[in-house]
Amino acid sequence: MSKQKRIQLPPAGALVVDRGRNDRVGEFRGVAGPYWSLRPIGGGPEWEAIPTYVRLATPEERLRARTAYENARSRGDVA
């Protein structure tokens, strides 16, 4: 009998790492069929991720992602 590991959903807005997309950090938005919807920090187009490739971001990864967003915003690269 096969046991499937149950993956716990992160809370909405939690920063996660999508290992299927070169460790891209995004905000967890919800579930879309078999995928999880993620979006870039500060907004932008969502992407779908395979749940088994997603993990919670570490404190260092969260800080790095937020700093990169704030730097891009201060340069005018993002709104």
Provide the pLDDT for residue 4: 56
Q: How many CB atoms are closer than 10 A to CB 19?
A: 14
Spatial distance between the Cα atoms of 27 and 11, rounded to a whole number of angstroms: 10
Query: Residue 66: which of 27, 38, 9, 29 has the closest Cα?
Result: 27
Spatial distance between the Cα atoms of 79 and 76, rounded to a whole number of angstroms: 7
> Does residue 3 sit within a domain?
no
> Does residue 34 sit within a domain?
yes
> Does residue 57 sit within a domain?
yes
> Which residues constitute the domain of residue 71?
15-75
Provide the pLDDT for residue 3: 56
**48-65 average pLDDT score:** 96
Spatial distance between the Cα atoms of 74 and 68, rounded to a whole number of angstroms: 10
> Does residue 7 sit within a domain?
no
Provide the pLDDT for residue 27: 97
> What pLDDT digit, counting tens, does each position of 8-54 carry?
899 999 999 999 999 999 999 999 999 999 999 988 899 999 999 99
Number of domains the chain is built from? 1
- Both tokens of residue 15? 């920063």
> Does residue 8 sit within a domain?
no
> Does residue 55 sit within a domain?
yes
Spatial distance between the Cα atoms of 17 and 75, rounded to a whole number of angstroms: 25
**3-11 average pLDDT score:** 78
